Amino acid sequence: MGFRLSHLSLVVSLVALALAGVAIYRNTYEAIIMNNGSPDFDFLETGAVSILTLNNEKINSDKDNLSQQLTQESCVFSAVKGVVDSAIDNETRVGASLIRLHFHDCFVDGCDGGILLDDINGTFTGEQTSPPNNNSVRGFEVIAQAKQSVIDTCPNISVSCADILAIAARDSLAKLGGQTYTVALGRSDGTAANFTGALTQLPAPSDNLTVQIQKFSDKNFTVREMVALAGAHTVGFARCATVCVSTNVNPAAQLQCNCSATLTDSDLQQLDTTPAVFDKDYYDNLNNNQGIMFSDQVLTGNTTTADFVTTYSNNVSVFLEDFAAAMIKMGNLPTSAGAQLEIRDVCSRVNPTSVASM
């Protein structure tokens, strides 16, 4: 499984050991007084030194373990960042795609890498072909490359695909101009996916405000956090197949729909005026009634949500801070109770020993 830094456990262990040393010292002192009438200070001093030596050895050992864990984490973060930065340099759009991929993973039954599992004809249906994801979510090849990079450059370190998704989203945000944040490792990968859950749990472009608030509340997000996370639409594009459905778009934006009959990705609609930069333009557009998606523009239709839109439009620093905090919270969404978990060797399929349980 993945590893976590356990600073609190370290402190508790050292305090407990110190208290134990004090207790031994006191008991020894009392025993000598009872037997001899006076303490043997040479003996007590030797005992105290021994206890301090043990404490120092424990501290040094814990420091070594902590240093090793930090080195391992640094290796993982560096390996993933290198792949993500290179991918975004090659195609800026993929940065937004990786943020969205992480969101679509965590919002369905927690951060378990379920969205990464490929369908197996006649055997397994995953989340990728569910309507909100089908021919829409992307960036899978970047996650696969990042996983391989960790395997190649960080030997003897086992990191889940869900962790790699979380790191990739954070690094994409930073690369596009957003505020970075700390990603804690230790997630596990699921051995199953939820086709129906992707359809019912994920926010949709046609969702009204009441539906959106309920979906986010179901995941324990506040309305403010919901409005902040909606700001992910300050980067990236919508597909032709989305913007050519009238119920999905804001009619005031007066989009020109040039979709082909097959509704392919040949035409893309940028989601705000600066789709390659993580900024506050998304909220500026909403305040001007120029949000692209119906679900975006309705954020201005309620006093509470409209106030948050205005706050973020007026102060980009507040938006970036709130978005980073909401991403941390989203990245910690727990997996479903009773889910079978593992650390996948390959992100697109469960480990061979798990196949029978699917």
Entry field: residues in the chain: 358
Residue 252: C-alpha distances to residues 154, 209, 234, 249, 308 (Å): 51, 17, 18, 9, 21
95 labeled binding residue: no
234 labeled binding residue: yes
127 labeled binding residue: yes
Residue 333: C-alpha distances to residues 30, 102, 107, 130, 296 (Å): 53, 11, 8, 21, 23
- Cα–Cα distance, 193 to 34 (Å, whole number): 69
Query: Residue 355 carries which DSSP code?
Result: G
Bridge-based pairing state of the strands 237-239 and 189-190: unpaired
132 labeled binding residue: no
- Cα–Cα distance, 183 to 168 (Å, whole number): 10
Residues 6+ apart with CB under 8 A from 32: 38, 39, 40, 43, 44
Query: Residue 302 carries which DSSP code?
Result: S
197 labeled binding residue: no
Assign 3-state DSSP to the chain and report helix, strand, coil percentages, each to 5: 60, 5, 35
**Is 280 in contact with 232 (CB distance < 8 Å)?**
no
> So which residues are the catalytic ones?
104
Residues 6+ apart with CB under 8 A from 316: 279, 280
Residues 6+ apart with CB under 8 A from 178: 278, 320, 323, 324
352 labeled binding residue: no
274 labeled binding residue: yes
45 labeled binding residue: no
291 labeled binding residue: no
Q: Which residues are annotated as a binding site for Ca(2+)?
A: 105, 108, 110, 112, 127, 234, 272, 274, 279
Q: Which residues are annotated as a binding site for heme b?
A: 233
Q: Which residues are annotated as a binding site for substrate?
A: 203
Q: Which residues are annotated as a binding site?
A: 105, 108, 110, 112, 127, 203, 233-234, 272, 274, 279
